[in-house]
Structure 1
Amino acid sequence: MAPKPVTSPVPVQWYPALSALLLVGGLFFTAFFFIYEATSSTRNRSLAKEVVIAAVASTFLGFGSLFLLLATGVYV
């Protein structure tokens, strides 16, 4: 039995749209994080909320960067 070639679970045509969508989402959550930090007082801040927002922003920006590299032909 011949081995099957490795293929992407996401169609290659979706890479540019996915990178734009994920990067915009990541920038939105990053901006939300900075606004939250600048406008809330020290007593009203929640560490759990900060960690969740930062993790979501980081995940979106990471996958957005990955799909941007894939869309431009840099296969990582």
Structure 2
Amino acid sequence: MAPKPITSPVPVEWYPSLSVLMLSIGLVLTASFFIYEATSSKRSRSLAKEITIGAFSSFFLGFGSLFLLLATGVYV
């Protein structure tokens, strides 16, 4: 029985589109985080909202960077 080659769960043709999409979403979320921090007073801020926005922006920027590296041929 011959071993099967390892393949990506995401088609290679999708890498550039996924990187642009995820980086765009991550940058929009990061911008909304900074706007929220700059426009809200210290008493009206919500830690849960800050952590939620930060986690989602980090997720999208991380995977967007990964797909950008994969799209350019840097296999990590």
Q: Does 1:73 align with 2:73?
A: yes
> Which letter maps to 1:54?
G
Whichever residue aligns with residue 5 of structure 1, its letter is P
Identity of aligned residues (%): 76
Name the aligned partner's letter for residue 34 of structure 2.
F
Q: How far has the Cα of 1:60 moved from its partner?
A: 0.2
CA displacement, residues 14-53 of structure 1 (integer Å, 9 cap, x when unaligned):
0000000000000000000000000000000000100000
Unaligned runs of 5+ in 1: none
2:26 aligned counterpart, secondary structure: helix
**After the TM superposition, which parts of structure 1 deviate over 3 Å for at least 4 consecutive aligned residues?**
none
What does 1:1-76 correspond to in 2, within 5 Å? Answer: 1-76=1-76
Residues paired across the two proteins, number:
76
SS in 2 for 1:23: helix
Q: Give, in whole Å, the separation in 1 of the partners of 2:28 and 2:3.
A: 43
Extract unaligned runs of 5+ from structure 2. Answer: none
Distance 1:4 1:25 in 2: 35
Distance 1:13 1:38 in 2: 39
TM-score (norm 2): 0.99
